[in-house]
Amino acid sequence: MAHRWTNTLTRADATPKAAWLNRRQIMAGMGGAAALLAAGQGRAQELVPNTLEQISSYNNYYEFGVGKDDPARNAGGLVTQPWSIRVDGLVDRPGDYALADLLEGLTVEERIYRFRCVEAWSMVVPWNGVELADVLAKVGVQSGARFVAFETVVQPEVMPGVRQRVIPFPYVEGLRLDEAMHPLTLLATGIYGQPMPNQNGAPIRLVVPWKYGFKSIKSIVRITLTDSQPPASWNIINGREYGFYSNVNPEVSHPRWSQASERQIGGGLFSPRIDTLMFNGYEAEVSGLYAGMDLRANY
């Protein structure tokens, strides 16, 4: 089942780090005008994977605080070993699986994906992970299952955001079964070939590249197959702003801000804004999942 999807973005797309830094310095030097000119050029030029430093220092992981640098600062205490995942609901082989057992025999691939936050910033991340479909095949999805529910770990003693109850915890998310089975949908265990940093959702997290980042739930401890739509944290907190689907869509604004454009992290103070792509650039791969659906109503 692995290798069902091939990167159009590969490591070959990555500008050597020295050249990338040099380019940034030139851009900074020439100031905003140059940056605005660069914005008019093709999108392909923007598809440069972010550095591990950037990817692991600018995070939304509210269990560790609401600031973007809070997770990097506070997540060091997260206990990720041992790690077990409870698999239950409409599955043939429910149980508490040790992480290694759940991944045994599966192929870990590198997938370079665009990652688009609902807050209108984005990154390009070289994930390492297995297809969620392979994991689901392993536990045996029963015929009545239509959705997959996920839950993030809660370790209050090391999670200041949980103690302050900035949002209700545990964080939960969900996908329709066909979304979960899609070859793009990944359970990621690393970045740049290194184990997943705690602040990025160690030891295992979901990655659904055509949806806003908050759908890609971190540090998963439970996967449940259900016959009805499971609750999703931001949808519960503010359903008017965050729908269950939350597919990246430049034409449907967040009620408080536009989703038509975004800024890729790492371009400095004069970083250009770029147009957001339908389904975050994965339209060809996933639009079939939503054929006939009103994407404005099912935001």
Partner 1 sequence: MAPAINRALRHVPAWPIYGLGAAWLAWLFWQGLTGALGPEPINALERRYGEVALWLLIAGLAVTPLRVWSGVSLLKYRRALGLTAFGFVVAHLLVWAVLDLQSLSRIGGEIVKRPYITLGFAGFVLLVPLAVTSNNASIRRLGALGWRKLHRLTYAAVLLGAVHYVWLVKGWPVEPFVYLALVLALLALRLVPARRPQGRPGPGAVVKG
The residue ranges that bind partner 1 (CB under 8 A) are 28, 32, 36, 39, 50, 53-54, 57-58, 62, 66, 68-69, 119, 121, 164-167, 234, 237, 253, 256-258, 261, 263, 265-266, 268-273
Quickly list DSSP for 6-49: --SS-GGGSPPHHHHHHHHHHHHHH-HHHHHHHHTS-GGGG--P
Nearer to partner 1, 146 or 273 (CB): 273
**Residue 212 C-beta: closest distance to partner 1, Å:** 12
Do 209 and 115 contact (CB within 8 A), yes or no? Answer: yes
Nearer to partner 1, 121 or 290 (CB): 121
Q: Exposed, middle or buried, 119 (CB in 10 Å: 0-12/13-18/19+)?
A: middle
**Residue 184 C-beta: closest distance to partner 1, Å:** 25
**Residue 162 C-beta: closest distance to partner 1, Å:** 13
Q: How many CB atoms lie within 10 A of CB 133?
A: 20
Q: CA-CA distance, 160 to 65, in Å (whole number)?
A: 6
Residue ranges in 32-149 assigned as alpha helix (H): 32-39, 52-55, 70-74, 99-103, 132-139
Nearer to partner 1, 107 or 258 (CB): 258
Nearer to partner 1, 10 or 164 (CB): 164
**Residue 163 C-beta: closest distance to partner 1, Å:** 12
What b/e sequence results for 81-110 when a residue is b if at least 16 CB atoms lie within 10 Å of its CB, and e otherwise? eebebebebbbeeeeebebeebbeebeebe
**Residue 57 C-beta: closest distance to partner 1, Å:** 6
**Residue 188 C-beta: closest distance to partner 1, Å:** 20
* Cβ-Cβ contacts under 8 Å for 258 (sequence gap 6 or more): 120
Q: How many CB atoms lie within 10 A of CB 270?
A: 17
Nearer to partner 1, 53 or 101 (CB): 53
**Residue 167 C-beta: closest distance to partner 1, Å:** 5
Tokens coding 75: 């997540």
Nearer to partner 1, 154 or 257 (CB): 257
* Cβ-Cβ contacts under 8 Å for 104 (sequence gap 6 or more): none
Q: CA-CA distance, 54 to 69, in Å (whole number)?
A: 11
Nearer to partner 1, 54 or 155 (CB): 54
